[in-house]
Structure 1
Amino acid sequence: MPQERDPHLPLTEINPAVPHPARIYDYWLGGKDNFESDRMAAEQVIAAVPEVRETARENRAFLGRAVRHIVAGGVTQFLDIGTGIPTQGNTHEVAQAADPAARIVYVDNDPMVMAHARALMSSTDEGATTFIQADLREPDSILTHPRLLDTIDLDRPIAILLVAIMMFVKDSEQPYDLVKRIADAAAPGSYLVVSHVSSDLLTPEAMERTLGVYNRASATMTMRTREEIIRLFDGFELVEPGVEKVHGWRPEGPIPDRPTAVYAGVGRKR
Structure 2
Amino acid sequence: MGLAEDPSTTAVLEMDMRETDKIFETPQVKQLLREGQPVAALFVSVLHCIPDTDDPWGLIRRVANRLPAGSYMVVSQLASDDPALRAEITGFMHAVTDGNWGRVRSPSEVTRFFEGLELLEAEEQKPMEVSLWHPDSDLGPRQRSKEWIEYGGVALIKTALKRTN
Give the TM-score, by structure 2 length.
0.77
Greater Rg by CA? 1
Q: Residues 166, 250 of structure 1: CA spacing in aligned structure 2 closer, same or farther, 3 A cutoff?
A: same
2:149 pairs with 1:265: no
2:128 pairs with 1:244: yes
Aligned-residue offset at 1:197: 0.8
User: Over aligned residue pairs, what C-alpha RMSD do you find?
Assistant: 2.5
Give 1 or 2: higher helix fraction.
Answer: 1
Aligned-residue offset at 1:151: 3.3
* Alpha-carbon contact 1:154-1:186 (below 8 Å) kept: no
Counterpart amino acid of residue 248 in structure 1: L
Alignment correspondent of 1:209? 88
Counterpart amino acid of residue 207 in structure 1: R
Aligned-residue offset at 1:165: 0.8
Give the length in aligned residue pairs. Answer: 149
Alignment correspondent of 2:108? 227
2:48 pairs with 1:160: no
Name the SS for the 1:227 alignment partner: helix
Quote the Cα distance in structure 2 between the aligned partners of 1:137 and 1:154. 24
Q: Residues 154, 197 of structure 1: CA spacing in aligned structure 2 closer, same or farther, 3 A cutoff?
A: farther
Name the SS for the 2:77 alignment partner: strand
Name the SS for the 1:153 alignment partner: coil
Q: Residues 164, 133 of structure 1: CA spacing in aligned structure 2 closer, same or farther, 3 A cutoff?
A: same
Aligned-residue offset at 1:154: 5.5
Provide runs of 4+ in structure 1 moved above 6 Å: none
Alignment of 1:1-270 (within 5 A): 96=3, 122-123=5-6, 128-153=9-34, 155-200=36-81, 202=82, 204=84, 206-218=85-97, 219-241=100-122, 242-253=126-137, 256=142, 258-260=144-146, 261-270=149-158
For structure 1, list consecutive stretches of 5 or more residues without a partner in the other structure. Answer: 1-91, 97-119
Aligned-residue offset at 1:253: 1.6
Quote the Cα distance in structure 2 between the aligned partners of 1:257 and 1:171. 27
Quote the Cα distance in structure 1 between the aligned partners of 2:31 and 2:127. 33
Quote the Cα distance in structure 2 between the aligned partners of 1:185 and 1:135. 17
* Alpha-carbon contact 1:155-1:186 (below 8 Å) kept: no
Aligned-residue offset at 1:207: 3.2
For structure 2, list consecutive stretches of 5 or more residues without a partner in the other structure. Answer: 159-165
Give the TM-score, by structure 1 length.
0.49
Q: Residues 176, 208 of structure 1: CA spacing in aligned structure 2 closer, same or farther, 3 A cutoff?
A: closer
Q: Residues 135, 155 of structure 1: CA spacing in aligned structure 2 closer, same or farther, 3 A cutoff?
A: farther
Calculate percent identity across the aligned residue pairs: 27
* Alpha-carbon contact 2:86-2:103 (below 8 Å) kept: no
| Higher relative contact order (CA closer than 8 Å, sequence separation 6+) | 2
Quote the Cα distance in structure 1 between the aligned partners of 2:151 and 2:42. 14
